[in-house]
A = this chain, B = another copy of it.
């Protein structure tokens, strides 16, 4: 597997576009489109929030279609808690895009991100669609990645190549965060984390769904910025088969290579989200090892990743490791605290459940970089998991106390 330059338009046959439709007050780009030149199979995963946004509902319905060819996305408005009108507007977005692209409505998927509870300016979107479609190009992958940004400070895109079934398959992706980030997405043929993945792999829909599900569980669903789950989290993957590989239709060696590449891509994108978390100055990787099961390890790592106290301490470069212990202990998972070790970087700060003397200045230095590594070894089993978050700064509060007004 090799990393290459590019994003959603890196795979064969994918075009993208992004324009200013006037949804964002800032006047920045806010309407994006991904298009596959040939019909693709899709898999998607959506928020489990009971207040799921209208685009989530409509995309779920459209996923019952067998093939898909486009995804339309707006930023600046979540189209959530807008009642029936919101549902109709999400449907209208797909219908207008479908018409301009000469597709069926059901072949178009939809996503939104932005403020909740404001009517979607669907007329502005309609007015923008001709220019949006006209702008479709392989060159515009990065423009798409820019278009979906809200409080993100930089665009997030990545692509990889892997040899699968006798051909070189490319997988590209773009995502946005960076607040209300604590996805827990479930696959239903179907985060406001939005992630868009494209691939020219030839793969059956079932295997694509399996691969997405496996990848999300170790990547997007293990990232948290603020512990708040969005109403709009969505992760889409489109596979158009243009790489010409032998179709991946079962869980053999080719599937494994595909999943390996997809997991790498989604994990790297997930880390980019945490790294650019609202107000973040550091990316924090949390590893829990020695657990009895992967589920236990994930739950504990996830709980640690949501500790406001730990995240404030990391912002202040304060090696207050007791907050790691306290968070782990409140995860609801049973473990023996008297066996557990805690590390910051490679420095052990707790051994067998008890504090050990350590050089505070050195420990503080381990928290001073742009990447921080925290580990809890439960020494009770062989399972492990990683979660990612960011530190918690005054800037986070500043950003989120002035968002809607």
Contact = CB atoms under 8 A, between A and B. Distances in A.
Most chain B Cβ neighbours within 10 Å, of A50, A394, A404: A50
Interface of A: 48-52, 78, 80-86, 115-119, 179-180, 182, 184, 226-231, 306-309, 312-313, 315-316, 318-323, 325-331, 333-335, 337-338, 349-350, 352-355, 360, 364, 392-394, 396-405
The 10 closest A-B pairs by CB, nearest first: A116-B322, A316-B401, A83-B354, A51-B329, A312-B400, A229-B330, A117-B355, A50-B329, A49-B329, A394-B394
Contact of A355 (B82, B179, B318, B335): B82
A292 B302 CA distance: 29
B228 A328 contact: no
B328 A51 contact: yes
A119 B323 contact: no
A82 to B, nearest CB: 6
Most chain B Cβ neighbours within 10 Å, of A83, A350, A364, A397: A397
* This chain's copy number in the assembly: 2
B313 A400 contact: yes
B309 A180 contact: yes
A403 to B, nearest CB: 6
Most chain B Cβ neighbours within 10 Å, of A306, A326, A399: A326
Contacts of A321: 116-117
A230 to B, nearest CB: 6
A259 B315 CA distance: 44
A180 to B, nearest CB: 6
Contact of A401 (B119, B318, B360, B398): B318
A51 B81 contact: no
A86 to B, nearest CB: 7
Contact of A82 (B354, B360, B401): B354
Contacts of A401: 312-313, 315-316, 318
Contacts of A328: 50-51
Contacts of A119: 355
Contact of A78 (B316, B322, B364, B399): B322
Given A227-B227, A329-B50, A403 B81 contact: no
Contacts of A318: 401-405
A75 to B, nearest CB: 15
B337 A228 contact: no
A309 B182 CA distance: 12
Nearest to A229: B330
B354 A85 contact: yes
Contacts of A331: 50
Contacts of A325: 51, 80-81, 116-117, 231
A229 B326 contact: yes
B353 A308 contact: no
Contacts of A82: 354-355
A19 to B, nearest CB: 26
Nearest to A115: B322
Contacts of A230: 326
Most chain B Cβ neighbours within 10 Å, of A182, A349, A398: A398
B309 A400 contact: yes
A323 B404 CA distance: 11
A323 B116 contact: yes
Contact of A394 (B308, B326, B397, B405): B397
B323 A83 contact: no
A396 B312 contact: yes
A342 to B, nearest CB: 9
Contacts of A396: 308, 312, 397
Given A119-B355, A364-B405, A397-B397, A322 B81 contact: yes
